[in-house]
Amino acid sequence: MGIQNLTWQVTKKAFTGSIIGLTISDRFCSLVPVRGDSMSPTFNPQRDSYLDDYVLVDKFCLKDYKFARGDVVVFSSPTHYRDRYIKRIVGMPGEWISSTEDVIRVPEGHCWVEGDNKASSLDSRTFGPIPLGLIRGRVTRVVWPPQRLSKIGG
């Protein structure tokens, strides 16, 4: 009877903790690994390192789409919804952006994003302006590795 009761108690606590963790991750903030070197040197500055940076993503900004030029954001790919990218906003709705081929006006409800390492980045230069609705959050801090702990942006 004692082991069955202990198992039930552990299961309840694990389930409750999972629900709370999912709610926090979905509504407030989450930790996201930064893969590749498209945002180097801001993230993953040492290309030969086996440690990826992990960043804290704030989701409070999603309520009113409160973004500004210079913010680093996580967004879903416009072509493959499950793929996530981390890029910097370089153009807001109504602004003019000079791309490699032409000058483009960012449409309302969209933004223009580019990686800090333009030579190795899949961004708006490839798939055009992204809808603000695809943004999943704003990167606020590097939290891993510990020696790179720092605030991002203003």
| Global confidence as pTM | 0.74
pLDDT given for residue 15 in this prediction = 62
pLDDT digits (tens, 9 = 90+) for 103-145: 889 899 899 998 888 777 888 888 889 998 888 888 888 887 7
pLDDT digits (tens, 9 = 90+) for 62-80: 667 678 888 889 888 888 8
Just list the catalytic residues: 38, 87
Whether the per-residue pLDDT at 102 is higher than 80: the answer is: yes
CA gap 84, 98 in Å, rounded: 25
Q: Distance of CA 81 to CAs 56, 61, 72, 135, Å?
A: 21, 20, 19, 11
Helix (H) or strand (E) holding 9: helix 2-27
